[in-house]
Homo-oligomer: A and B are copies of this chain.
């Protein structure tokens, strides 16, 4: 295995010079630099990351903690992180918490995360109070993407406004009796996001002077299947039923849409459905939604982390992400309107 001193010897310089030259540091003459580059290339030299980590104390790796990797928001976000990292020579170390909060270890203080990464990007998830404590204790740049965590810099949309916007869209269309399908609190995927979205929904309804029957609230777990399930329960309701449903995610909305049509409801003529997210499949299915871009959010968060690592103190800070109402084909005025 060719090491740095092989290169040094071959180029007739010292290892220190090789190190500087290869890392693009100043204080190397152009001539020596190009010579070193050439011989390094010729010898097929690849620096040992282990050695440079040990010597420099930097890992050039950022950790990504996610509750799921095979769900829309998280997949999109991870793609964004990766995009920013690679190309700048940083590595991405992925830690999947597996969603369920109970059996997971206290990762933040464990060897896995600790000492293996220079910075940490957390994807929106439920956190135990003691985990949040651990989080505050780790001494490295840290940002969360997707939802607010107490006292930690966050990049994400305004969930309250998203829910309110989409609900108001329905109200403007003339709906007076609107159902809600939200992510259950006891499901550990999220934390405050579901709750905040529910508040936006409630406020929109109340500000319009409408009432919300307790039979109009359904629970799901953000999956399509849970949307289907919720719609089955909805159809079991005695008439007159709500004429529209607000879903806390596009995936659930899709399930609702499928099941509604399966049961013979015409959407949007008989029944309107909306989601939140901007899922591609929702787009193709014609789902009205509030769009957001998890990839862009993750890229923003990653760039903050990198800037902080580059010495730019205060680079990491909370920032609101873009969102947009997209009206498509699953919303219309209610039937009797």
Contacts and interface: CB of A to CB of B under 8 A. Distances in A.
Interface string A68-80: 1111101110110
A92 B94 contact: yes
B258 A115 contact: no
Contact of A86 (B50, B57, B112): B112
A1 to B, nearest CB: 9
B86 A78 contact: no
A228 interface: yes
A69 B81 CA distance: 11
How many copies of this chain sit in the oligomeric assembly? 2
A174 interface: no
**Interface residues on chain A, size class:** 35 or more
Given A50-B50, A70-B79, A83-B98, 16 more contacts: A46-B111, A46-B115, A48-B54, A49-B116, A51-B54, A69-B69, A69-B78, A70-B75, A70-B295, A86-B96, A89-B112, A91-B112, A93-B93, A225-B283, A251-B281, A258-B286
Interface of A: 46-51, 53-54, 57, 59, 61, 68-72, 74-76, 78-79, 82-83, 86, 89, 91-96, 98, 110-112, 114-116, 223-225, 227-228, 251, 254-255, 258-259, 262, 280-281, 283-286, 295, 329
